[in-house]
A and B are shown apart, each in its own frame.
Chain A
Amino acid sequence: MSGAYRHFPILMVTIPFFGAALLPFLAYLRRKAVPWASAFFLAISGGLGTFLVGKIPPGGHLSYPLGGWEPPYGIELRVDFSGYFLMMAVAGISLAAVIYSRRYIEKEVEGGRITAYYVLFLLMSASMMGFVITGDVFNLFVMMEILSISSYALVAVTGNRNAVRAAFKYLLMGAPSSIMVLLGVGLLYSVTGTLNMADLAARVGDTGYREVLIASYAILVLAFMVKAAVFPLHLWLPDAHSIAPSPISAMLSGLVVAVSAFAVARITFSVFTVHAWGLVGTTLEALAVAGAAAVLFGGIMAIYQKDFKMMIAYSTISHMGYVVLGITALNPEGITGAVYHILDHGIAKACLFMCAGNFIYRKGFRKIEQLKGAWREMPWTCFAFSLAAWSIIGLPPSAGFISKWYLVYGSVRAGKVPYAVVLLVGSILAAVYCFRVVYYMFFQPAKEGDWGERLSEAPASMSVPTWALSLATLFFGVFSYLFLDSLLKAAAQLL
């Protein structure tokens, strides 16, 4: 067994891919088993991940040459602690969402598309896991394409008019951004002659082509800003995230945009590195301004929403601003805050969307107004919502507090106090839009006919993942000390 764990990262990525290819055959034999099989593949993938605990040297990384081709010629997987951490987050949240999907999807998606749904779901999860650990920029592009295409399809999976329109809007913004990633990678390749991140990092410093590098960095950042829905390139997000089926909203909002934001960190710290910061300074400053604007814009828009899925979607825009501000603080604390925020925002946001899904599943409600007095019928969903909202606001002892602490501290340390203030204002805005819903659910009398007295909680296969995620926000707050040291070391190593 010794040393076998070296292969686990690639297995974590390939097993769901393999599963996605198998599902259609399984559906042909036994359609009922498809959801279980998808959960099984993701569980195996996550289970393998747990064997890697403690295997990654502090501040270092595991390098895995794909197919035995030594880097920089072959594709390299480069698992550092932040990548591993996010990969596990992807595995965990995907597993929760896929379990949640079984009952929910039966209701929203017509029978023939169910298999397609799970195939796309597995492709999406697997590509995200590959995305965060790859050490090769072209591979990054490939994974991002798989991720994007499966996301477009999943938004449209219900096939109704609005969903197709939202997916098309998503595609209209997403496709050019994919091309831009390719362009950026091509420019990099043209001046350095390599695609491996570590190799690139060694070479970008001493090429003579400053302008090309500046352009390629700006193009890459712009492209990933679209994918991460950073203001003002967020236009596709509110529709896509609110109209998609709730487990897909959970995946899109919790993970897909967040790993795209992480890609900005990868490009900045693993490719351009400290030595080339002279090249990227202006772009980073512009990015920080966009991030700050996103925090405020998303928060304010969320307050004015009437549809609760729309509100949660706007909240995501605000929180992507947090992540961007953490990355642009350019110090270990800021990066740690950003990575931790990707995790805890992912968990909490997925949980919020699942709660929203529970309400839609039982009642078909989409308006915040209709949640008045909801706790009588669905107390557990309401409690889960409140716990997740607690983390979104960043109140102790939830995980959101820890990441907020590091994000604000990172900004203060970088001498960017205005951004620290923006982050704090963002958390006030979050408190406003979250507490309003919590207040409606628990402290307002129900409108006539909306909610009865009888308990009618969502089925167990939906409630359990919802609750697991809401408790996870607490777990990662209280036990944050288990991860923070390694994350700080990994972040310090990036710089």
Chain B
Amino acid sequence: MPEGAVRSVMPLLPILFPWISLLAIAIFRRRALRLRLWLCFAGSALSFLAVIVLLPSVLDGKTYYFKLASIVEGLEISLYVDTLGYYFSLVLAFMWMLCTLYSISYIDHKQNRYFAFLAMCGSFLIGAAYSRNMFTYFIFYEMMTFGSYPLIIHEETAMARRAGYKYLVYAIGGDVLLFFAIITNYFWGGGNVNFDQWGLPTLAAASKAALLTIFSSYIAGFGVKAAIMPLHGWVPDAHPAAPSPASALLSGVILKAGAFGIMRVIFNLFGIDLMKELGVHWVVAVFACITIVLASVFALTQDNLKRRLAYSSIGQVSYIILGLTMVSRDGTLGGIMQLAHHALMKACLFLCAGVILVRTGKKNISDMKGVGYQLPVSMICFSVCALAMVGTPPSVGFITKWMLGSGAMEAGLPVYVVVLLVSSLLNAAYFLPIIYVAFFRWEGDEEGHHHPALDFNSERDPLMMVPVVILALLVVVVGIWVTVPGFPLSLASRVADLVFP
């Protein structure tokens, strides 16, 4: 049992609640579609509630612990809510709730399969967030990986099948690397892969070659999920193929599971000091920088909206990796905050893309002339998030970039600031044309026709609009009232304090 932790079933509840959805699906297999779907939503909402009731005590510095099983001495499957894990679970439970709500009206066929796997993945992810050791994390992570396959190929088009195939190939490769990393870590870490401390003391005694093997296997294994180039290949295919709420979750949460794993490796298994001593953090940082710039360049060339967003995600998740490998307090803080901030922005963007797809059937940016007048609310939300991605204040995107920049200066590496600025510029270059096409172009504009009137009729579906609006509002609100307890900064700074005492 970790020091100072309270033994409690609280961590188990958010993992169990999503299974209500599966129960509902099993009971009403063919009847009561609406009720069945609403029960699915209830499962994810209860799960979010169960997470949020822990907030005050986590802010007080309490930790919770629950043992599921002890495989052998020292190797156990157990849950442990510390600040970092809680932070991830808060983000993902919230996203999961909104996306489940959105899915109710978005998904129009094979609802049973979709919602069952959606709920299962949510449950496994919360389990991963609350894992006490890498062994437990791997178990949940792996189940989540394969559980999200049916979400990606939900449309069952040839493109979706190909994307699913690619996803599996990458996932299996990554998981095998990860398995190898965990075993070697377990061996050299003296039979201990727990997250209780900030660096495994036993690991420091291992040889440098062993440490390098472990570290690089971890980074490569999680790098597949976190889409660090050149391991990003599945992302640009999977996102456009999946239904929009699923792509929102892929980008907003599932990619982050890889980044979260890297956090655990850097903070809890190796510890900042050991990583610095090993001297490979800058290699990872270079890969992250390359990813940030190249992904943005690739995004420029995409005409398919969701594909462009996917490339944008690849770049943005590498902000997290860059922040972690700067080895400075502000950089770490920025990296951790980016996990939540990017989830808010990117999920909103994908959900807007979903609205566009459902209401107008348009996938390509070049066809979206005047879409801002057809779907004013969504496109305004889209624009807000797009500007936030670029880093315009007041928004969450600005906060992240500020923190990361400050961290780079603190670490004495202004070159990272240049990378961030170039990336902002490129972000602007691929996001602003979308806004331009949506609002400043319309059918017949070159013949001098006046722009069409705003049309609010096609945005009457509250199930789809509520999540979009909430996310867009949060992007601004969290960007202004940054320090409110419960918002990312309050939790992230606690983690940063632990990492840099």
Contact = CB atoms under 8 A, between A and B. Distances in A.
B170 to A, nearest CB: 12
Given A395-B146, A408-B183, A428-B173, A485 B139 contact: no
Given A478-B69, A479-B69, A428 B156 contact: no
A488 interface: yes
A427 interface: yes
Contacts, number: 53
B287 interface: no
Given A396-B142, A443-B156, A428 B184 contact: no
B153 A443 contact: yes
Contacts of A401: 139
23 contacts: A395-B142, A395-B146, A396-B139, A396-B143, A397-B139, A404-B179, A409-B183, A413-B187, A420-B180, A425-B176, A428-B172, A428-B173, A431-B168, A431-B172, A443-B153, A443-B156, A478-B69, A479-B69, A481-B70, A481-B72, A484-B71, A485-B73, A488-B72
Given A396-B139, A420-B183, 19 more contacts: A395-B143, A395-B146, A396-B143, A404-B179, A405-B183, A412-B183, A412-B184, A413-B187, A425-B176, A431-B172, A443-B153, A443-B164, A478-B69, A480-B71, A481-B69, A481-B71, A481-B72, A484-B71, A485-B72
B186 A409 contact: yes
A402 interface: yes
A435 interface: yes
B69 A484 contact: no
Nearest to A417: B184
Given A395-B142, A402-B71, A481-B72, A428 B176 contact: yes
Interface in A378-414: 395-397, 401-402, 404-405, 408-409, 412-413
Contacts of B164: 443
A191 interface: no
A424 interface: yes
A479 B138 CA distance: 17
A435 B72 contact: no
A93 to B, nearest CB: 23
Contacts of A478: 69
B161 interface: yes
A397 B138 CA distance: 10
Interface in A420-454: 420-421, 424-425, 427-428, 431, 435, 443
Contacts of B172: 428, 431
A409 B69 CA distance: 20
A397 B143 contact: yes
A479 B176 CA distance: 23
Interface in B123-167: 138-139, 142-143, 146, 153, 156, 161, 164
A412 to B, nearest CB: 5
Question: Which of A401, A409, A478 is the most central at the interface, judged by chain B CB atoms within 10 Å of its CB?
Answer: A409
A395 B178 CA distance: 13
Interface in A142-160: none
- Top 10 nearest A-B pairs (CB, nearest first) are A396-B139, A424-B176, A481-B71, A431-B172, A481-B69, A412-B187, A408-B183, A484-B72, A396-B142, A409-B183
A481 B143 CA distance: 20
A443 B162 CA distance: 12
B168 A408 contact: no
Interface in B27-53: none
Interface residues of A, number: 27
A1 B71 CA distance: 33
A448 B131 CA distance: 47
Nearest to B76: A481
B185 to A, nearest CB: 10
B327 to A, nearest CB: 29
Contacts of A431: 168, 172
B105 to A, nearest CB: 25
Q: Identify whether the interface residues of B are mostly helix, strand, loop, or mixed.
A: helix
A427 B184 CA distance: 17
A12 B105 CA distance: 60
Interface of B: 69-73, 138-139, 142-143, 146, 153, 156, 161, 164, 168, 172-173, 176, 179-180, 183-184, 186-187
A408 B180 contact: yes
Contacts of B179: 404, 408, 424
A401 to B, nearest CB: 7
Nearest to B168: A435
A413 B70 CA distance: 21
A421 B180 contact: yes
A386 to B, nearest CB: 10
Nearest to B73: A485
Nearest to A405: B183
A409 B153 CA distance: 35
A470 B142 CA distance: 19
Contacts of B153: 443
Nearest to B184: A412
Nearest to B179: A424
A443 B72 CA distance: 38
B180 A409 contact: no
Nearest to B191: A409
Contact of B138 (A396, A408, A485): A396
Contacts of B73: 485
A373 to B, nearest CB: 12
A397 B77 CA distance: 11
Interface string A183-205: 00000000000000000000000
Contacts of B180: 408, 420-421, 424
A401 B138 CA distance: 11
A409 B187 contact: yes
B123 to A, nearest CB: 13
A24 B69 CA distance: 48
A484 B173 CA distance: 28
A427 B71 contact: no
A307 B120 CA distance: 33
A391 to B, nearest CB: 13
Contacts of A421: 180
B360 to A, nearest CB: 29
A404 B138 CA distance: 14
A397 B69 CA distance: 12
A427 B69 contact: no
Contacts of B176: 424-425, 427-428
A480 B180 CA distance: 21
A220 B270 CA distance: 47
Contacts of B156: 443
A484 B75 CA distance: 11
A443 B143 contact: no
A427 B179 CA distance: 11
A43 B19 CA distance: 36
A305 B397 CA distance: 52
Nearest to B70: A481
Interface in A64-104: none
Contacts of B173: 428
Nearest to B187: A412
A488 B139 CA distance: 22
Contacts of A435: 168
Nearest to A393: B172
B172 to A, nearest CB: 5
A484 B70 CA distance: 10
A396 B178 CA distance: 13
A488 to B, nearest CB: 6
A457 to B, nearest CB: 16
B248 to A, nearest CB: 23
A485 B184 CA distance: 21
A445 to B, nearest CB: 9
